[in-house]
Chains A and B, each alone.
Chain A
Amino acid sequence: MRTIEMYENAPDGSTLEVRLTPEGGPFTGNVLFSTSGPVDDVTWPDADIRPGPKKQPLSRGKAYMVEFHLAFMSEATATIATQIRKPNGDLYSTPKVWEVDGQQGDPELRVLIIRTEA
């Protein structure tokens, strides 16, 4: 998995699900969530995404950016798991899962870009 990953053509009305695990791991993470158009950015704190899932509805004709910022207090592996669920509950495409290895003093960055169907 690369630092930046992407979903395209996500169905209208689908839902993004974000999880950060393990719950008691020696690290913290938060998300800067941005939406195209005149929509304010929002921050999802650690408590929202760990263990999650944080659910975010996705609308037609939009683009979204999910910036994950992690900080490790000691050596650990954090798992960021993202998936998109279609309105009927089925998974869209395949989940994007980052296994992030870190040590004390490591801030880490991962980005998910989502484009929905026009």
Chain B
Amino acid sequence: MKTHAWTLILFLAALPAAAQEPRADCKSGETFLDCANRLLDAAMATATTQAVNQKAANEKAEIAKKSVPESVPDTASSLRDFLPLFFSSLGLGNTTSDKDALTLSFNPELFDFGPANPVSMKAVVRNPVLFEALINQLPEAIRADRKSTLNDQLKDFDDVEYSFVWGRQSDRFGRAIQPHLALIADTFLAINKRAIDATTSDARKRLLNILASPDLPPEINNQPLDKMTPEVQAKVLPALDGYVRELAARQKTIRDLTSSLRFFDLADLVNNQPQVQASVNYRRRNDLVGPDEQSAKFSYEMGFANVNGLRRYCSNLKLATSDPDCLSKYLAENGTTLTGSPRLSVSAEYSKVDAYRFDLPADHFTYSLDRVTKKVGSLSLGRYLRSDDNGTQTTRLDLQADYEDVSGDPKRQSRLVAMATFTHEMSDNTATSFTVIYASKPEYLGEVDKNLSARVGLKYKIDKKKDSPAN
């Protein structure tokens, strides 16, 4: 019933264009296609203007960026000449290098965990550098000499870091659009069917029947229309004009419907999907370079109006998720949430630096370090609170709590720091921020502008953005 009502409304809206008398205005010398394309361009001019406006509006809308951090920063320039060639020729992946490191990015297809479990693995071969803490502990009298000797002992692969990152990409997790293309396709198809129902006239069939008529030359597009017989012109031109008008009306209706039903906001819902990621790092070093290190990190991030929410909402209404009306209702009910782009992020990290010992028996020198473990937990929640008249989001609230426990470092043991930050962007490209900080122990409070108590402080600042016209 609702679909019929829509159809009627759209048909009535499109009626003025479709009901106009066909007007043949092909220009002298134009072929059938020349004329068809020019007429269509003219008929769609209004729709094109709307498209430009829509694009400008979209640019204003803030879309949280897909955050799939790379585990290892990219590098560039060459360190080992043969390895990239060897690595690439075996189809293992690609390499990038700079003066400090060579990065080998393994081909993801080598680890076939399925499309829902994309992984990346990298090995970074760093240019080995002597362990600075070790060198500084050498007696000054022998330091320069030993440094030179030890430096000569360094080899190409004395400092290599391996990293492995896994993320989940499915219709429930991850922000890749591919798992949602079927939903997007079905929703757009439903919108198109409404537009077709609303704009279809007899013009298309009329033109097709004329083009199929044996009375027409086999090829009408190889000569100007005005060179054809008056009978052919009298048939083709009005039908072409009518069809082009129908086509333009349909395209305008599709554009209007995608806008009113907020079809393109589906991309924002995808971008708010929960994201799960886990990574493991192992850095193997020669004793001359430093101790070995291992770390593992798990993170989860989500927005609150997302495709999962849409699916649940439509299921409760007993509507198909691809029903444009369901999308529209969901977005209407969660519009504030989508505008505010709230984000929840949780992460946990564990890292370990191995115990370290280095001896120079001849110099009666020993340098050792205890094993250090580090546990970090982080929870953050942020959202925009308001927008200006242009729709640009201006005021933001971020809450963040970090817990850190580092063995062997009294300043970082069982440390809890929580912050609430208000940020307001002003029209002159200036951002002001105001932060309330709580620390579990006074020594963790850090530098603040004002102490409210031993454990609570305030920080405030005004930032002038670099690209500010005022600068």
Contacts and interface: CB of A to CB of B under 8 A. Distances in A.
Main secondary structure of the interface of A (DSSP, over half): strand
A67 to B, nearest CB: 7
B192 A32 contact: yes
Contacts of B267: 26, 73-74, 104
A8 B221 CA distance: 8
B208 A28 contact: no
B295 interface: no
Contacts of B204: 34, 65
Contacts, number: 124
Nearest to B204: A34
Interface string A49-79: 0000000000001111101010101100000
Contacts of A65: 204, 207-208
A6 B221 contact: yes
B114 interface: no
A30 B189 CA distance: 7
A111 interface: yes
Nearest to A76: B177
B185 A4 contact: no
Interface stretch (B210-218, B224-232, B332-340, B448-456): B210-218
Main secondary structure of the interface of B (DSSP, over half): helix
B185 A30 contact: yes
A64 B192 CA distance: 19
A5 B254 contact: no
A48 to B, nearest CB: 10
B193 A73 contact: no
Contacts of B51: 105-106
B67 to A, nearest CB: 15
Contact of A9 (B192, B207, B218, B254): B218
B32 A3 contact: no
Interface string B33-48: 1001100110010000
A113 B36 CA distance: 11
Given A2-B37, A46-B181, A36 B212 contact: yes
Interface of B: 32-33, 36-37, 40-41, 44, 51, 54-55, 58, 177-178, 181-182, 184-186, 188-189, 192-193, 196, 200, 204-205, 207-212, 214, 218-221, 247, 250-251, 254-255, 258, 263-264, 266-267, 270
Interface of A: 2-6, 8-9, 24, 26, 28-30, 32, 34-37, 41, 43, 45-47, 61-65, 67, 69, 71, 73-74, 103-107, 109, 111, 113, 115-118
